[in-house]
Structure 1
Amino acid sequence: MSETEMIIHMEDVHTPILKNISLQVKKGEVVTLIGGSGAGKSSLLMLLNRLADPDTGTIYYRGEDVKKYNIPALRKSMGMVLQSTSLFEGTVADNLAFGPKLFQEWEESRGEELLNHVQLPASYLHRDVETLSGGEQQRVAFARTIANRPDVLLLDEVTSAVDLRNVELIEAFLMEMVSKRVHAIMMVTHDVKQAQRLGDRTVFMANGEIVEAGATETLFAHPQTEKLQYFLHHQND
């Protein structure tokens, strides 16, 4: 794989939670992370934009050690959306403008465009975020993240607390994003059917380790390890 194709490369990464993590993400991929609670999925995501650092091992982003990046610039480029939306107090417009204003990049005209991406009307710009439903808040959280024009999206259980309609809207939005606006997505999900729908590749984790990884269709159709077989069997009960 050439350097131009490689977006993320984790090499023998260890933390108190994670063990021997080696993983590659290439341009254009959606990589879904599955596994039980406490498997280390969220901990892995946190390393990528330096919400935490590994004890040993190296994480490369576009061929450079992430520790060489300015942290605000790294987090701008690798945007994260969490299960908890963590919107700031104020209006939708306040939230959308926050990140770009840090880099003197905000243009008022972008607000309507950003809401259009997540299928919310322009009238929402002036609404207080506290008046929005959970699904609407999650879509605003996505719009706030893409306001920074990230190259990579890091998503942690982003649809687990929203209704089916919002799940469908968010999934459609993600597929549009990876084809037009971002270079890769890494997505933690508890929903194995969602992993099957969205993932080009899927990584199964247990006890802080990558147990099995591969093309999503193959991994689900032909799991190679007893741990993954057991996990999938009990997901389908």
Structure 2
Amino acid sequence: MAEPALIALDQVGLRYGAHEALCGVSLCIAPGERVAFVGANGSGKSSLLRVLHGLLAPSVGTRSQGVAAHGRALRFAMLFQRPFLLRLSAAANVRLALWLGGVRGADAQARTAEALRRVGLHGEAARAAQALSGGQQQRLALARAWALQPDVLLLDEPTASLDPSAKREVEALLEEFSEHGMTLLMASHNLGQVKRLARRVVYLEHGRVLADAPIAEFFEDAVAPEARLFLKGELPW
């Protein structure tokens, strides 16, 4: 018997006024998957991430979600291309996220210390978050997300503005998170990164899913003419 879906979309559409961002999208996300959403700018990747998270409600169609272990409600976290960090220390940014998530006191202190250690920022706990380098800020955002212990981590172009060394650091952290059972859903223009991190690829064009395949099948066969053109750099306009 197939494992129940963590998140399922059924014929979902999303409109911003007269603009149709998503149309007829049906997807099932299983626990522990590593899914990359690819496509040209404006194809609907970011909108799809927000619907999967639950930040945006579909204009039409339905979104449903399962439960985590022992019937607990699913926990979500989202990492954006440019993380929003408050004018506080690195540690305080993590503690505030935990406070908003209902985690207080000694538990919050312990989780904050462990989260910063995991991303290699334990020595920067007292530094102002906005004084950190771009790569360190992204790692801090990952620490903040990890501290919340999400079941599903959604990432929107998480390394687009980072140098190669910082990208490798972030990718290594995502690999580690995935190995511990976290479900990863990411939008990326970096096809090398998609090959390294994803196990399944969903290709979008003008808000529609035109291909949904395992990583090897997608890059070897591309499964749809439009996806083959995309991989060749012949983007739709």
TM-score by length of 2: 0.89
Q: Which residue of 1 aligns with 2:43?
A: 39
Deviation at residue 196 of structure 1 after TM alignment: 1.2
Q: Which runs of 5+ in 1 are unaligned?
A: 65-72
Q: Do residues 23 (structure 1) and 58 (structure 2) align?
A: no
Deviation at residue 51 of structure 1 after TM alignment: 2.0
In structure 2, give the amino acid aligned to 1:228. Answer: A
CA distance in 2, matches of 1:5, 1:114: 30
For the Cα contact (< 8 Å) 2:32–2:181, is it kept in 1? Answer: no
Q: Percent identity?
A: 32
CA distance in 2, matches of 1:112, 1:181: 21
CA distance in 1, matches of 2:175, 2:5: 20
Q: Do residues 193 (structure 1) and 197 (structure 2) align?
A: no
CA distance in 2, matches of 1:224, 1:29: 20
Deviation at residue 63 of structure 1 after TM alignment: 6.4
Q: Residue deviations 1:48-98, cap 9 Å, x none? A: 23321111111111169xxxxxxxx76xx1100000111112111111011
Deviation at residue 5 of structure 1 after TM alignment: 4.1
CA distance in 1, matches of 2:67, 2:98: 25
Deviation at residue 108 of structure 1 after TM alignment: 1.1
In structure 2, give the amino acid aligned to 1:177. Answer: F
Q: Residue deviations 1:162-198, cap 9 Å, x none? A: 111111111111111011152x110000111111111
CA distance in 1, matches of 2:127, 2:178: 29
Report matched runs for 1:71-90 at 5 Å: 77-90=75-88
For the Cα contact (< 8 Å) 1:6–1:63, is it kept in 2? Answer: no
Q: Which residue of 1 aligns with 2:132?
A: 132
Deviation at residue 205 of structure 1 after TM alignment: 0.5
For the Cα contact (< 8 Å) 1:114–1:147, is it kept in 2? Answer: yes
CA distance in 2, matches of 1:174, 1:5: 24
Q: Residue deviations 1:107-164, cap 9 Å, x none? A: 21222211121122x2211100121011100110111111111000000000001111
For the Cα contact (< 8 Å) 1:13–1:59, is it kept in 2? Answer: yes
In structure 2, give the amino acid aligned to 1:143. Answer: A
CA distance in 2, matches of 1:205, 1:148: 30
For the Cα contact (< 8 Å) 1:111–1:125, is it kept in 2? Answer: no
Report the CA distance shift for 1:187/1:103 in structure 2 as closer, same or farther (over 3 A).
Answer: closer
For the Cα contact (< 8 Å) 2:76–2:153, is it kept in 1? Answer: yes
